[in-house]
Amino acid sequence: MAEMLYQRDVYGKTLVELGKSDPNVVVFDADLSSSTRTCLFTKEFKDRFFNFGVAEQNMVAASAGMASCGKIVFISTFAIFATGRAWDQVRNTLAYNNFNVKIVATHAGVSVGPDGASHQALEDITLMRIIPTMKVIVPADGPQTRDAVLAAYQTQGPVYVRLGRPKVATLEGKGIFKFGEAEVLSEGKDIAVIACGIMVTQALDAAIALKNEGIYCRVINMHTIKPIDSKAIIKAAKETKGIVVCEEHTIVGGLASAVDEVVAEHHPTTVLRVGVRNRYGQSGEPDELLNEYKLSVKDIVATCKRVL
C-alpha cells in the first residue's frame, strides 16, 4: 500500500525548513493558515509570518511591496482566491515587477469535495500560465511537493505551485525532480499519457489496465507546466500514435492547451483531453466527483482507446 500524504502538510514542513535556512523567507496567509498549513511556519517564525485576514488582494499586493525590499515571500490561500480573486494584483503588481513571490495555493480542483463549486478552482493553471513572468508547477504527490516548493524558492521571480486538498498516494520510482523537465514514469510506444497533479496516479492506473489489453502507454508526469518541457512532448508525439492529456482542471488554457501548442507547432498528432469541459464543480466526495467530471481511470482508458 502506497504512503498517503497531504501535500499541504509537506508544504508547511518545507516552509519550516526554508525558514531555518534563510532569514529572508517570509510567509503570508489570508485566514486559511490551518488549511494551507502555513501555520507550521507561524509556530516557529512568528516574526516572519503575516496573516492578512480575509483579504487576498491586499495579501498579494503587499507581497510585492515586501519582495521589493529583498524578501522571498510565500503567499498561500485556496487556489480559487489566489488566482481568481486577486488576479489583477498578481498580474500588475506582483508579476509585472518579476518579484520573488511564490504563490503556493491549496484546494485546487474538484477533489476539494464537499465545499462545492465556489471553492473548486478549475481555471487557476490557465490564469497563471498566461502571465508572462509566471512559472507554474503542479506536483503529483507528497514528496514531490517538497521538490516543487524548493524549486520555486530557487527560481528567480514569481512561481505558482498548485496543491490539492485530499491525501495523495506517493508515487514509486520517480527519480530526481528537475524543474522544467517532465518525468517519464512508464515506457510505451502506443500512447503517451501526459498528466499533472492527482491525475498522474490515475494515468498510471489506466496504463496498467491498458497493458492488460496489450496497449502500452508512456506515462509522463508534467509537473512543470511553465516552462513546459517541449522536448518531452515532441518526442512523445513522434514516438507514439497519439497523446492523451489528463488534468483536474478545465481543458481550456491549462496543461492540455500547453501540450496542444507544442504539438501544433512542432509535430502535429492526435491530442485528446481528459479534463473538465465548460462546467463548474459541485459538492460530493472526491471519487464521486472524479467520476462525474470524467476524470476517472476508466475515462482515461476509454480516451486512450479512442486514439488507436
Nearest C-alpha neighbor of 119 from the set 77, 88, 153:
77
Q: What's the rounded Cα separation, in Å, for the pair 254 and 84? A: 15
Q: Which of 22, 34, 92, 308 is in the footprint of another protein by CB under 8 A? A: 92
Q: Which residue has the cell 485566514?
A: 31
Q: What is the spatial distance between Cα 129 and Cα 260, in angstroms, rounded to a whole number?
A: 14
Dihedrals phi, psi of 78, to nearest 5 degrees:
-70, 150
Residue 166 has what DSSP assignment? S
157 binds another protein (CB under 8 A): no
- The answer to whether 64 contacts another protein (rule: CB under 8 A) is yes
For residue 38, the minimal CB distance to another protein (Å) is 16
DSSP-derived secondary structure for 186-210: E--SSEEEEE-TTHHHHHHHHHHHH
Q: Does 156 bind another protein (CB under 8 A)?
A: no
Positions in 24-63 near another protein (CB under 8 A): 26, 47-48, 50, 52-53, 55, 57-63
Task: Write down the catalytic residue from 3, 44, 56, 261.
Answer: 56
Dihedral of CA atoms 59, 64, 70, 71 in degrees, nearest 10, equals 20
**Binding letters toward another protein, positions 94-113, x by CB under 8 A:** --xx----------------
Q: Is 56 a catalytic residue?
A: yes
Exactly one of 66, 125, 194, 243 binds another protein (CB under 8 A); that residue is 66
Q: How far is the CB of 22 from another protein (least distance, A)?
A: 12
Q: Which listed residue (65, 116, 143, 157) binds another protein by CB under 8 A? A: 65
Please give the Cα distance from 13 to 19 (Å, whole number): 10
Residues annotated as catalytic (active site), given as ranges: 56
**Interface with another protein by CB under 8 A: which residues?**
26, 47-48, 50, 52-53, 55, 57-71, 88-89, 92-93, 96-97
